[in-house]
Amino acid sequence: MSKNQNSCSFRTSIGGQALMEGILMRGPKKQAIVCCTAEGLVEKVEELKVVKEKFPILGWPFIRGLFVFLSSMINGMRALMYSADLIPIEQAGEPDKLDQWIEAHFSEEKAKDIIIGVAVVMGIALSLFLFIFLPAFIVGIIEPLTENYVIRNLSEGLVRVVILLIYMKLCCMVPDVKRMFSYHGAEHKTIFCYEHGKELTVENVRGESRFHPRCGTSFLLVVVVVSILVNSVVRVDNTFARMGCHLLLLPVVVGISYEINRWCGKHDNILSAVLSAPGKWLQHITTYEPDDKMIECAIRAMELVIPEEEGSDEWGN
């Protein structure tokens, strides 16, 4: 894409997430879930609670990143479950045994909270295993790579990148996930259309780029790269001790990565282009071109969260 097509005079803080046949858009004051069903678009709008107003420390640079990551993960899982509930039973299939047991022993609302909590914990555990423990273990058993701290650290970083790419590629092989990635593309295109000041129509959105610098998948890649630099301070040989050190340094990695992503989203220069380029490359895997219904869904979700006060959603406010 040309620079003119990707550059924006206005950058919004509105962000989104692809769901099962739908999209979550999160604005400065509201979040909206819009899903495509056989009966048409189903909408759910919620007012947001700004926790950092009660606890200002959660809005401080390098601290806010971890909080934003965890809250986004929880809210995203809730939205994903809501969208999954709208899918017809014959398409959704039977819930797994753990979900059935939880639903049988708790009230409907309590069961959903427990299932979301379990899903978040399992998601974090899988991420820690794939991107912290597994790379350290793989490199640790290859003796030539453990003789030098610099080579060992770079090797662990390279293994993380390879694991991330393989994981994303495997996700693309699941039809439902592939459709979600198309909704992901619709979300990016709609945000770009809004930032370019164009009317939110299917035709206008269709012509926008699906590669956005403030994407969550870009954040994942930044985390991997930043971890190489931060973990360079680890000077221990024992593989399990290294795993523990990497785990302790994770909040630092997430905090720095969030600030880099935030800075790249706010600026349009050579440095920001270089820093955001790897994340955009990764979006060739995590976004696909959407159809018109997906675009209509994204447009409606965006319309529901655009604030009344013009410019109040500017990135960095």
- The pLDDT, as a whole number, for residue 68 is 84
Residues in the chain: 317
Question: Does 313 reside within a domain?
Answer: no
Name the pLDDT band for 1 (thresholds 50, 70, 90).
very low
SS3 (DSSP) at 37: strand
Whether residue 311 is contained in a domain is answered as: no
In a domain, 138, yes or no: yes
Q: Name the domain count of the chain.
A: 1
Instruction: Give residue-wise pLDDT tens across range 98-115.
Output: 666 776 766 777 777 787
Residue 310 Ramachandran class (φ > 0 left, ψ -120 to 50 alpha, else beta):
beta
Domain annotation covers residue 317: no
Half-sphere exposure of 120 (CA within 13 A, CB side): 18
- Confidence band of 92 (pLDDT split at 50, 70, 90): low
* Owner of token pair 């022993």: 105
Instruction: Give domain status of residue 2, yes or no.
Output: no
Rounded to whole angstroms, the Cα distance separating 5 from 198 reads 12
Which tokens go with 239?
A: 């593989």
- Please give the C-alpha separations between residue 262 and each of 9, 60, 218, 268, 276, in angstroms, as whole numbers: 16, 13, 11, 12, 11
Residue 95 has pLDDT above 70, yes or no: no
Phi, psi of 265 (to 5 degrees): -70, -20
Whether residue 98 is contained in a domain is answered as yes
Residue 109 lies in a domain: yes
* pLDDT tens track for 219-235: 888 888 898 889 888 88
> What pTM did the predictor assign?
0.84
CA-nearest of 166, 169, 196, 193 to 181 is: 169
Winning range, highest mean pLDDT, from 32-46, 73-87, 100-114, 219-233: 32-46
Q: Average pLDDT of the chain?
A: 85
Asked, for residue 189, whether it belongs to a domain, the answer is yes
Q: What are phi and psi for residue 50, nearest 5 degrees?
A: -85, 95
Q: Output the pLDDT for position 3.
A: 37
**Which residues constitute the domain of residue 113?**
15-305
| pLDDT band of 307, cuts 50, 70, 90 | very high
Helix, strand, coil shares of the chain, percent, nearest 5, are 65, 10, 25
